Amino acid sequence: MTQENDSKIKHIRNFSIIAHIDHGKSTLSDRLIQTCEGLTERELKEQVLDSMDIERERGITIKAQSVTLDYTAADGQVYQLNFIDTPGHVDFSYEVSRSLYACEGALLVVDAAQGVEAQSVANCYTAIEQGLEVLPVLNKIDLPQADCDKVSQEIEEIIGLDATDACRVSAKSGIGIDTLLERLVRDIPPPKGDPDAPLQALIIDSWFDNYLGVVSLVRLFDGTLRKGDKIRIKSTGRDWGTTEVGIFTPQRKQTNILRAGEVGFIVAGIKEIHGAPVGDTITHTKTPDVARLPGFQKVKPQVYAGMFPVSADDYEDFRDALEKLALNDASLEYVPENSDALGFGFRVGFLGTLHMEIVQERLEREYNIDLLTTAPTVVYELAMKNGDVNYVSNPSKLPDMADVDEMREPVVRASILVPQEYVGNVITECEQRRGTQRDMQFLGNQIQLAYELPMSEVVMDFFDRLKSISKGYASLEYNFERFEEAKLVRLDVLINGDKVDALAVIIHRDHAHPRGRLLVEKMKELIPRQMFDVAIQAAIGGQVVARSTVKALRKNVTAKCYGGDVSRKKKLLEKQKAGKKRMKQVGRVEIPQDAFLAVLKVND
Amino acid sequence: MVDTLPPLSLYIHTPWCVRKCPYCDFNSHEPDTHGFTPRDLPEAAYLDALLQDLDGDLALAAGREIQTIFIGGGTPSLLSPAFYARLLTEIEARLPFANPIEITLEANPGTTEQQRFIGYREAGINRLSLGIQSFQPAQLHALGRIHSGQEAVTAVTQARQAGFTNINVDLMHGLPEQTPQLAMDDIEQALALAPEHLSWYQLTLEPNTAFHSHPPILPEEESLWDIQDSGHQLLEQAGFKRYEISAYAHIGHQSRHNLNYWQFGDYLGIGAGAHGKLSYIDQSGEWCIERRWKTRQPDAYLKRMNDLRGFVAGKQLISVDELPLEFAMNALRLTEGVTLNTWRTHTGQSDAMLLARLQSAEKKGLLMQMPEKLRASPQGLLFLNELLASICDESSVKSDQR
């Protein structure tokens, strides 16, 4: 390695920020960018890294992004800081590990007023496991409720990280940022790697850009990549010519070269993200034998829901929109689904319910498609009597139970961190959701609970519920543990005797009756009266467990209509017709969309 | 070509009322707020305006015979017999009258007297429609009517003495605090006056009315149903035949004017806010149906005299696509429906085009299965809005496919 190269790599620092939502990661990254003058004041938009509208509105990061900053340290040397952003929600934890993989260090940012949260603990362990240097940072120290000593102690007790000399900053007011940058340069090791060795680069992320095609964020472990180089994607074996090479500052900036240890982007005329899979290795065409880097595990959707366009005319647009979304979201899976009640749509797999909400929101907002989404369901394992094992992610596709030997549901191990005063609420909630306590530890002022819970209970609204019963303090992290036999049944909804496939749910037998009762009552409120009585039944197998009736209207006719007001009466009819268009027909019964959403809302 | 067009009627609107009723969504105005008193309306100016308004419509209607005239409001009986005498003479000078012609005037029992009725009769008006609504003090009060039950009885008697042999009584039901018994009492009292025709409406709360913003408490649904059921029986037992959703008549006394609306006939509409519908064959031989409506506010309407803009506030051709609904909205209100031939002669369109839109209504059992007839089934009459909405649906399906 040449002296010059050696010096270059020694001045690189690749790092991520691990932080819980609201703990100030975005503010801190903005502050870092600004301090290093990556952006002028005028250019500094709030939360520059969270570029999607929805990310900004919800204050969360969904996709990993990066920014390269030049920092002139106290020693007079210029360091290249590559900050790789990580998502902060439990649904997207897999994205975190892949961001961390490209780094040598991480800042663990903890709100000095709130203390450590479960999500951060899990991510921090991942970082430590991957051999990263983790720097604890206490943020928001200028808040009156900040208690730095207590939080430092928590970090030590919960995570086991020495926090005696943790950086104390206020990203908002700029306190301690200079010290933090100095510590970052001092404590986080430079990457290793040889710019003269054959190219070995990891794809951290790929996304589709309407003008450029696929853009990939890469970390070079060895070698040097220049614009115009012929490269090979290891898994596909396909060769491409690089047309753009550069860094994010955070705007895309072409540098035409990336060296070992650096993080940046490449564009190589690839038309779909599957052509540059996340976790894959890139090398030069001329060095095809370079080893593949250990990639990432492909994430599997955990939650499935049917999505149907409200207007059948939107089906094609919906399919195109899903295709486009999937270009940038490798975790999104979809297959066509045909519902008797809702017509043609797709069964879509998501990482969690937040992911589902975001996808639905993007489809509706960016692609202008009105959608009906059915109740989300997890994947069940069925041991069949003939010895087969099947997986079902759609209640209406459940086979004849006579052929099923055993039905198993996914169980997760959930780790919940909660201040002592709310622990009673949390335990009650977990018990109601069929949880089994596995561990309980007192860590400073907080309690760490470990529970095994059916995944179906966790994905629905558990996270929101936890937040609301703990004044927002409880935090959650969970992982799939195993499939476990459970007394599961399918709860069907029948409207005037017709089964409505889109309303079926798989549910624990003990919960089926009360839920059936709630559901039919809710549906009764939402289905308008029609020309005939509408019977709503909830049933398990052939057994009706709850029923209610929407009484028939006596009549629906306009009392007066003469020549003069025909156009007004016509407008009323057209309104009625527009309302009907939004209804779905089940047998003779017209059902408004709201009624389909009732399944999701029976807990309200 | 002209003989093939539908029959033509004339509607004349008078926009003033002594007091606006809280349920009324027609174009009626209290003259006080416009600088007149009910006894001092600008009759001469309005008469001139009406005739000029009519002249503006003649281009499309010249030579066609007027089958019926209906003078509605507002309260037409606020205007003098002399006004109508001159008005009708002037109209006949412009358009031929059918023989016999039906000329109806709406009258409020609180604004009439013997002399007026005689005058109206002499002016050529041969049918009276009396807005009685109820005979019970509590209900009349709730409806904001300016007359009493007794005045209503007197009005009918006076009209009879003045020589009217064709009288309609407007009654409402489903009124605030009205029990089924009270509703039947109203019908009994109306029957005692031996009208030839009875319009029996359920009170509905329409947008842009006082009742809509401050809804009164109405009878419960089951009670309403009871009223409707018993009232219908009572009327039929008394020899009345229901021929439209809310209209009952003795044989031979159906309202010719309203029948023309419901059979999708043509009509000119003159006066403030009046609507007209007129068919004509254009130069290329195409059958066109135009709706036009006149300036609504009485003051503004009067100011359109000798104004280059004329009285028309807007006009629109009914597209062929809209015809099935427009036709059904009217024709299916008739308990006996209409023949398919009426569709052909009143729209100039083929049967197939109409029948294609009726399939889903047929499937729902809302139409009678009668060849050559378009008629709602008993269920279809009760759920006419459902029936009509299903016709809309098909038109939207069709336009979506395009």
B320 near A CB under 8 A: no
A333, A323 contact by CB (below 8 A)? no
**Residue B194 pLDDT grade (very low, low, confident, very high; cuts 50, 70, 90):** very high
A236, A293 contact by CB (below 8 A)? no
A244, A212 contact by CB (below 8 A)? yes
Strand A252-254 and strand A12-19: the pairing is unpaired
What would be the CATH architecture of the domain defined by B321-401?
Answer: Orthogonal Bundle (1.10)
A570, B326 contact by CB (below 8 A)? yes
Measured CA to CA, the distance from residue B195 to residue B204 in angstroms comes to: 24
**Residue A546 pLDDT grade (very low, low, confident, very high; cuts 50, 70, 90):** very high
Whether domain A490-601 has CATH 3.30.70.2570: yes
Instruction: Say if B2-260 and B321-401 have the same CATH topology.
Output: no
**Residue A35 pLDDT grade (very low, low, confident, very high; cuts 50, 70, 90):** confident
Between A69 and B197, the more confident residue is B197
Mean pLDDT value across residues A354-370? 86
B290: closest CA of chain A, how far (Å):
12
**Cα end-to-end distance, chain B, whole Å:** 33
Q: Is A281 annotated as a binding residue?
A: no
**Residue B1 pLDDT grade (very low, low, confident, very high; cuts 50, 70, 90):** very low
Residue A328, pLDDT score: 67
Residues of chain A with CATH 3.30.70.2570: 490-601
Q: What is the pLDDT of residues B147-187, one digit of tens each?
A: 999 999 999 999 999 999 999 999 999 999 999 999 999 99
**Residue A248 pLDDT grade (very low, low, confident, very high; cuts 50, 70, 90):** confident
Which sequence spans correspond to the domains of chain B? 2-260, 321-401
Between A97 and A16, the more confident residue is A16
> Does A564 sit within 8 Å of B11, measured CB to CB?
yes
Whether domain A200-284 has CATH 3.30.450.30: no
* Other beta carbons within 10 Å of B80: 16
Lowest mean pLDDT across A130-144, A200-214, B109-123: A200-214
Which chain A residue shows the shortest CA-CA distance from B229?
Answer: A554
A81, A15 contact by CB (below 8 A)? yes
Between A251 and B142, the more confident residue is B142
Between B398 and A584, the more confident residue is A584
Mean pLDDT estimate for chain A: 86
Where does residue A595 fall: left (phi above 0), alpha (psi -120 to 50 degrees), or beta otherwise? alpha
B115: closest CA of chain A, how far (Å):
30
Residues of chain A with CATH 3.40.50.300: 1-187
A556: closest CA of chain B, how far (Å):
5
Top residue of B245, B268, B397 to mutate, by most chain A CBs within 10 Å, is B245
What would be the CATH architecture of the domain defined by B2-260?
Answer: Alpha-Beta Barrel (3.20)
Q: What percent of chain B has pLDDT over 90?
A: 85
* CATH code of the domain occupying A303-375: 3.30.70.870
Report yes or no on whether pTM surpasses 0.80. Answer: no
> Does A577 sit within 8 Å of B389, measured CB to CB?
yes
> Does A556 sit within 8 Å of B383, measured CB to CB?
yes
Residue A48, pLDDT score: 54
Mean pLDDT value across residues B106-129? 94
Q: Is A139 annotated as a binding residue?
A: yes
User: Looking at beta carbons, which residues of chain B come within 8 Å of A555?
Assistant: 225, 228, 382-383
pLDDT at A547 over 90: yes
User: Looking at beta carbons, which residues of chain B come within 8 Å of A557?
Assistant: 245, 381-385
Q: Is A68 annotated as a binding residue?
A: no
**Residue A51 pLDDT grade (very low, low, confident, very high; cuts 50, 70, 90):** low
Residues of chain A with CATH 2.40.30.10: 200-284
Strand A371-373 and strand A343-350: the pairing is unpaired
Q: What is the pLDDT of residues B305-327, one digit of tens each?
A: 999 889 999 999 999 999 999 99
Interior/surface letters B318-344, b for 16+ CB within 10 angstroms, e for the rest: beeeebbbbbbbbbbbbeebbbbebbe
CA distances from A497 to A533, A549, B395 (A): 12, 12, 30
Q: Most confidently modeled of A56-70, A265-279, A281-295, B155-169? A: B155-169
User: Looking at beta carbons, which residues of chain A come within 8 Å of B228?
Assistant: 555
pLDDT at A349 over 70: yes
> Does A558 sit within 8 Å of B385, measured CB to CB?
yes
* CATH code of the domain occupying A381-486: 3.30.70.240
Name the residue facing B389 among A560, A564, A576 (closest C-beta): A576
**Complex prediction ipTM:** 0.90
Which CATH code, of 3.40.50.300, 1.20.1250.20, 3.40.1800.10, 3.30.200.210, is assigned to A1-187? Answer: 3.40.50.300
Mean pLDDT estimate for chain B: 93
User: Looking at beta carbons, which residues of chain B come within 8 Å of A580?
Assistant: 389, 392-393
Residue A276, pLDDT score: 87
Where does residue B125 fall: left (phi above 0), alpha (psi -120 to 50 degrees), or beta otherwise? beta
Residue A266, pLDDT score: 95
B392 near A CB under 8 A: yes
**Residue corresponding to tokens 């604890």:** A136
Residue A582 in 3-state DSSP?
coil
Name the residue facing B396 among A556, A562, A581 (closest C-beta): A581
